[in-house]
Structure formats: structure tokens, C-alpha cells
């Protein structure tokens, strides 16, 4: 029997209920220490994580596909599980959400499962699990992707040009661009256009920048969602020409020394020509010459001649005319044939001697005003050898002569004439 001073039931440590309670207290304390200080596991939720569509995109790109329609989702909610000490500071930027493209095998709408993982593994290492909570999948539309090269067209509807000037041509750099995108979008694009607008009227060639536009067959600007250009802008050179109307003239060659070309009465089927060119070139011109007319070799009575209009380099015709008809007024013109005995050589080199063997130049045909032709004699006509333009060699040579009429500025000869000469080296 216990004494009155002895506790009933024995020692507290011998009490079974106390031992159970104490074990529970120690167990709870151990769990708290382990979970809070040693291995504190838990989870956090991060919202508005963006979807990275380019991750593993080679899966569909290698099939010639591209994404042409995506869901309008601002972000994804992800649950992150792991050591609370580690995951507590994870933000949305440390997480990557990406679609699984495993079941993409052609064009059309495909439901893709969303997955997530930690990207910043240097700061957040260990056993961290990411689970996409909402939405868990998305619908994405795929289409075939191709490329096409399109020339850059310049739109000058907004360009103003000064009076008496014109826009001659345009050139864009780059001259063409490559488009890449879904076939369905590329089929809608008919042109790539560089629109140019000027605030002032242009009077000189200038280069301006332009943002390129994609347009359809009706000229309407197209803004495709997924088609890209390898260049989005271009530099456009606008070549500005000055416009003038200039008289046409004829350059006569094969005429006697001292001959007055104004004595020739002729007309051209077109008296003037509208042309354009750089201001420096155009402003320096007084007339435009047709191709040379060789009076000695080409002239005949009662005949018209087609002559090309020779435009200087960089000058263009605005009338579309490339040739004119040359006509002579021969009403007061007469002709005669004479045998010329007056033969002379000039500019004979000092190391050569030239002896004229021919005594006459026969049948020289001459044209001029009727009154002068009537009074013309053979003594007034000279057959001249100019050695300056000849390649002389020892021996006999047949040498051309030019016919001169010193006493008249309105008579000319036609045809080709030669004399026989003996060349001796001194």
C-alpha cells in the first residue's frame, strides 16, 4: 500500500499516457524541424507565364510548316513544387511554358499540350517540378511555309515635279525582296511597293527612304500575320529630267572650203523635237542635229532622205520621233560637168616628193544656183590633194582629190574623184 506521502500510481515517467504525449510532442517538433529547416517541401503558383512557341519548333519547321494562328492568351498559370526555401523566390520569368509538338504532322488545327520547366537552373537547382494548371492545352493552326522573291515597285503618286521637269525613272535599293510565310498568305500578296511622297516640287534627281508595303492584286495594303520580308525599307532614287523643245538642224559634210551651207534650201519633216534629260545636259543645247549629210556623196536632184535624229547621251525624245525626212528645194538649182585640169597637192611631207601624173579629172559634176553654173568654167575649179590625211608610200598611187570652187561659196561638187601620182622618198 502506498504511504500517504507517496504519489498515487507511481512516477510520472512511468505513466503510460504521459509517455505517449511526450512522444507526440517530440515527433511534432522533429517534423517541424525537418520540414522548416532541413527539407521544407511545398508549392507556389505563378501566373502570367508567357508561352514560348519557338522551343522545339524544328519539329514542325522540318515539315515545311509554320504557325499561322495562335490563341489570344496573355499567360499561363503554373504550379511549382519543391523546397520552399528555393521555390519561394521563383518568378514567372524563370519559368518557360512551351507546347508539345509531338502530334503535329501536317496543316490544320492541332491541340497542343502545354508543358513547363525551370529555365534559370543556375539559381534554382534541385528537384523542382513544374505543372501547367491553366490552360493545360491550346489550339494552334499550322500551314505550309514557302518563299517568293518579289521586285520592289515604286509608287510615285505622291511625288510632285516642278514645271518643265519630269520624272524619268525610279530605282529602288534593294530592287527585290524575299517574302517568307504561309502559302495562304503569300498567295494574297501581288506586289511589294515603296510609296514615295514629297513636300516640294522636285527639280533635281534625289534619293528618298521608303517603308515597304505588301499589296494585293487590287493595290490594297496587306498586313499578314506571319509573313516576313528580308528588308522592310528601301532607298528610292527619283531621276528628274528637264524638258525642252529644241529646233532640229542638219550637219553638212563633204562640202568645199568656204561653202555657204545657208545657200542650201532644205526642209525637215519635223522642225522641233521635245526632249528631256539632266538639267546640265539639256540647258547646254541650242539645237538637235540629225545624222551628218555628206553633200558630195549623197546629194541627188529630186530625192528625199531619211535621217536619224542623233540625241546626246542621256537625252530622250518625248515625241517618239527617231528620224526625219530631209528635202531640198532644187527649183533654182542647176548642174554641169567639167573636166578639171587645175590639180594641186598641199601638205606634202618634207621627206617625200609627189608628182601628179594625171592631167585631167574628168566629168566633175557640179551643182549651184543656175546663174553661177551658167558662168562657171573649168579654170575656176580646183582638184586638190591633201596629203595630211594620206598614208604615202614610194611608187605610184591612186589618190583621192577634193573639188574646190574658190570663186563661189554656193557651188559644190558631187561624186568621188582620183588622180594618179608618183611618190618618191627624198
**Are 71 and 61 within 8 A, CB to CB?**
no
Q: Does the structure show a pLDDT above 70 at 59?
A: yes
- Beta carbons within 8 Å of 107's beta carbon, 6+ residues apart: 65, 142, 143, 144
Q: Has residue 407 got a pLDDT over 50? A: yes
Above 60 in pLDDT, residue 31?
no
The pLDDT of residue 28 is above 70: no
pLDDT at 182: 85
pLDDT > 80? residue 29: no
Q: Which residues pair with 222 in a beta bridge?
A: 214
Report pLDDT for 11.
64
| pLDDT band per the 50, 70, 90 thresholds, residue 88 | confident
Q: Do 284 and 314 touch, CB atoms closer than 8 A? A: no
pLDDT confidence of residue 419 = 96
167-202: pLDDT as tens digits: 999 999 999 999 988 888 899 999 999 999 999 999
In angstroms, the CA 258 to CA 403 distance is: 12
Please, what's the largest Cα pairwise distance for the chain?
187
Average pLDDT, the chain: 90
| Closest C-alpha among 411, 402, 426 to residue 344 | 402
pLDDT score of 68: 82
Residue 6 confidence (pLDDT): 47
The whole-angstrom separation of Cα 15 and Cα 8 is: 11
Residue 232 to residue 212: CA distance in whole angstroms: 5
Is the per-residue pLDDT at 21 higher than 50? yes
Distance CA 308, CA 294 (A): 14
The residues near 112 (Cβ < 8 Å, ≥ 6 apart) are 99, 100, 101, 103, 104, 137, 138, 139, 140
What three-state secondary structure class fits 121?
A: coil
The mean pLDDT value for 357-380 works out to 95
Distance from C-alpha of 255 to C-alpha of 344, rounded to nearest angstrom: 18
Highest mean pLDDT among 88-92, 238-242, 279-283: 238-242
At residue 7, the pLDDT reads: 47
With CA atoms as reference, report the closest residue to 243 among 279, 202, 276, 289. Answer: 276
Amino acid at each position: 500500500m502506498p504511504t500517504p506521502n507517496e504519489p498515487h500510481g507511481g512516477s510520472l515517467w512511468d505513466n503510460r499516457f504521459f509517455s505517449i504525449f511526450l512522444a507526440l510532442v517530440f515527433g511534432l517538433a522533429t517534423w517541424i524541424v525537418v520540414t522548416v529547416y532541413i527539407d521544407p517541401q511545398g508549392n507556389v503558383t505563378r501566373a502570367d507565364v508567357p508561352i514560348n512557341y519557338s522551343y522545339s519548333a524544328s519539329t514542325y519547321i522540318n515539315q515545311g510548316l509554320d504557325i499561322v494562328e495562335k490563341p489570344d492568351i496573355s499567360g499561363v498559370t503554373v504550379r511549382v513544387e519543391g523546397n520552399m526555401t528555393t521555390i519561394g523566390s521563383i518568378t514567372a520569368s524563370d519559368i518557360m511554358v512551351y507546347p508539345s509538338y509531338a502530334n503535329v504532322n501536317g496543316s490544320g488545327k492541332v491541340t497542343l499540350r502545354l508543358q513547363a520547366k525551370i529555365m534559370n537552373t543556375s539559381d534554382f537547382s534541385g528537384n523542382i517540378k513544374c505543372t501547367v494548371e491553366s490552360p493545360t492545352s491550346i489550339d494552334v493552326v499550322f500551314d505550309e511555309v514557302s518563299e517568293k522573291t518579289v521586285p520592289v515597285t515604286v509608287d510615285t503618286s505622291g511625288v510632285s515635279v516642278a514645271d518643265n521637269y519630269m520624272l524619268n525613272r525610279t530605282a529602288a535599293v534593294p530592287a527585290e525582296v524575299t517574302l517568307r510565310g504561309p502559302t495562304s498568305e503569300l498567295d494574297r500578296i501581288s506586289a511589294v511597293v515603296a510609296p514615295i511622297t514629297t513636300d516640294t516640287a522636285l527639280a533635281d534627281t534625289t534619293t528618298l527612304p521608303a517603308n515597304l508595303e505588301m499589296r494585293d492584286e487590287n493595290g490594297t495594303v496587306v498586313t499578314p500575320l506571319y509573313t516576313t520580308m528580308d528588308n522592310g525599307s528601301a532607298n528610292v532614287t527619283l531621276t528628274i529630267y528637264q524638258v525642252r523643245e529644241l529646233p532640229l538642224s542638219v550637219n553638212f559634210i563633204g562640202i568645199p572650203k568656204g561653202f555657204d551651207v545657208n545657200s542650201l534650201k532644205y526642209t525637215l519633216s519635223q522642225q522641233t523635237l521635245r526632249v528631256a534629260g539632266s538639267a546640265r545636259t539639256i540647258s547646254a543645247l541650242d539645237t538637235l542635229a540629225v545624222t551628218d549629210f555628206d553633200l558630195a556623196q549623197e546629194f541627188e536632184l529630186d530625192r528625199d532622205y531619211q535621217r536619224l535624229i542623233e540625241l546626246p547621251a542621256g537625252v530622250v525624245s518625248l515625241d517618239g520621233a527617231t528620224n526625219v525626212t530631209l528635202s531640198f528645194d532644187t527649183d533654182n538649182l542647176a548642174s554641169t560637168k567639167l573636166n578639171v585640169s587645175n590639180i594641186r597637192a598641199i601638205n606634202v611631207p618634207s621627206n617625200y616628193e609627189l608628182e601628179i601624173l594625171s592631167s585631167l579629172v574628168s566629168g566633175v559634176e557640179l551643182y549651184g544656183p543656175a546663174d553661177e553654173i551658167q558662168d562657171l568654167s573649168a579654170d575656176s575649179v580646183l582638184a586638190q590633194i591633201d596629203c595630211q590625211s594620206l598614208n604615202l608610200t614610194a611608187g605610184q598611187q591612186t589618190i583621192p582629190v577634193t573639188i574646190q570652187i574658190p570663186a563661189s561659196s554656193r557651188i559644190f561638187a558631187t561624186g568621188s574623184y582620183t588622180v594618179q601620182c608618183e611618190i618618191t622618198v627624198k
